[in-house]
Chain A
Amino acid sequence: MPSIKLRAKALEGGLIEVKALMTHPMETGLRKDSAGELVPAHFISEVIVTANDKEVMKANWGGSISKNPYMAFTYKGAVGDKLKLTWKDTKGGTDSGELVVA
C-alpha cells in the first residue's frame, strides 16, 4: 500500500493547492505501550515537495504532528507541473510519491 496520498487542484489566479496524507505511526518517544514500556520515537522529521524538480515547500516536524500526518498548502504553478513529495523519518526511513497536476 502506498504510504503517500497526494492530491493537487488548480485554483483561480495560477495557484495550485496541494494536499498530502502520509501513513506513519508518528511515535513521539514519550508514549508507553500496554506493557508499560516506552515506545521509541519514530516520526517523520522532514517533508520536501518539489514542482518540476524545484522545491516549493519544506516542512520540519516533531512528534507533535498527528499520526498519519496531513498537510496542505498552495503555490504558484500550472496544470502539468510534476509534483514530488519525499519524507524522511527519525529511523532513516523514507518514501516518496509523485503526481502530475491535472
Chain B
Amino acid sequence: MKRRTFLGNTLALATTGAALSTGLLAPQWAAAAGEASAASEASPSPFNLKALDEVLKSLNATDAKTSDAIKIKAPEIAENGAVVPVSISTTLAGVSTISLVVSNNPNPLAATFTLLEGTSPDVTTRIKMAKTAEVIAIVQAADGVHIAKQNIKVTLGGCGG
C-alpha cells in the first residue's frame, strides 16, 4: 500500500516536473508515469491479494486482538475441501463488517459481509480450502477490529488443478 502511495506521489510530482523541466528529462518521467498507472490498474481488489499479511493489512487487522466474543462454527476436519461450511457469529456491539480469510488459499480473502442496520452479526457460507489451514474471522466492531481463528484439517483439497 505504501509503495502505491509513493508511486502516486511521484507521479504527481513527475507531471509538474515534466511540465517545467527540459525535453531531455521528459521521456524518463513519461516511462515512470506509465509504470505507475499500470500498477494501480493491476491490483484494485483485496480479493486478488496473495499474501496473508497484505490481506490482513487491507482489513486493518494486522494488530487486531483475538476475541472470545467471536464464534467460528466449522468442522475440525473437512473431508472435501471444495465445500466447507463456515458460520461466524459474534456478541460484539456495532459490527459493520465480517470478513472470512483462509490462511493457505492462493487468494486468502474469501468474503466480506457488510451488515446493515437490523442485520444480525451471524453469517453462514461455504468455502473452498486448498489444504489444511486456519480460517480467520475478522470483525469490524464499534470499538475496533477483532479476530478469531480456527484450524481446519483438509483431507482432499478443493481448488482443483
* B123 with A15: CB separation less than 8 A: no
Q: How far is the CB of B50 from chain A (nearest CB, A)?
A: 10
Contacts of A72 in B (CB 8 A): 87, 123-125
Partner of B113, one of A58, A64, A70, A74: A58
B100-125 CB contacts (< 8 Å) to partner A: 102, 105-116, 118-120, 122-125
**What is the interface size of chain A, counting residues whose CB is below 8 A from a CB of the partner?**
30
Given known contacts A60-B111, A62-B47, A73-B113, A28 and B82 CB-to-CB distance under 8 angstroms: no
* B113 with A66: CB separation less than 8 A: no
Is A77 at the interface (CB under 8 A from chain B)? yes
Number of A-B residue pairs with CB-CB distance less than 8 Å in the complex they form:
108
Chain B residue, CB-CB nearest to A54? B116
Alpha-carbon distance between A72 and B113 when the two chains are bound, in angstroms: 11
* A56 with B118: CB separation less than 8 A: yes
Q: How far is the CB of B55 from chain A (nearest CB, A)?
A: 10
* A71 with B159: CB separation less than 8 A: no
* A66 with B122: CB separation less than 8 A: no
* A62 with B114: CB separation less than 8 A: no
Is A30 at the interface (CB under 8 A from chain B)? yes
Q: Which 9 A-B pairs have the closest CB atoms?
A: A62-B47, A64-B110, A76-B118, A31-B160, A72-B124, A58-B114, A66-B126, A75-B119, A74-B120
15 contacts between A and B (CB under 8 A): A31-B161, A32-B160, A57-B113, A57-B119, A58-B114, A64-B105, A64-B107, A64-B109, A64-B111, A64-B129, A66-B125, A66-B158, A71-B123, A71-B124, A75-B118
Apart from A66-B127, A74-B119, what 19 extra A-B contacts exist at CB < 8 Å? Answer: A28-B107, A31-B160, A45-B47, A57-B116, A64-B102, A64-B105, A64-B107, A64-B108, A64-B128, A64-B129, A65-B110, A65-B126, A70-B124, A72-B123, A73-B120, A73-B123, A74-B120, A76-B120, A77-B118
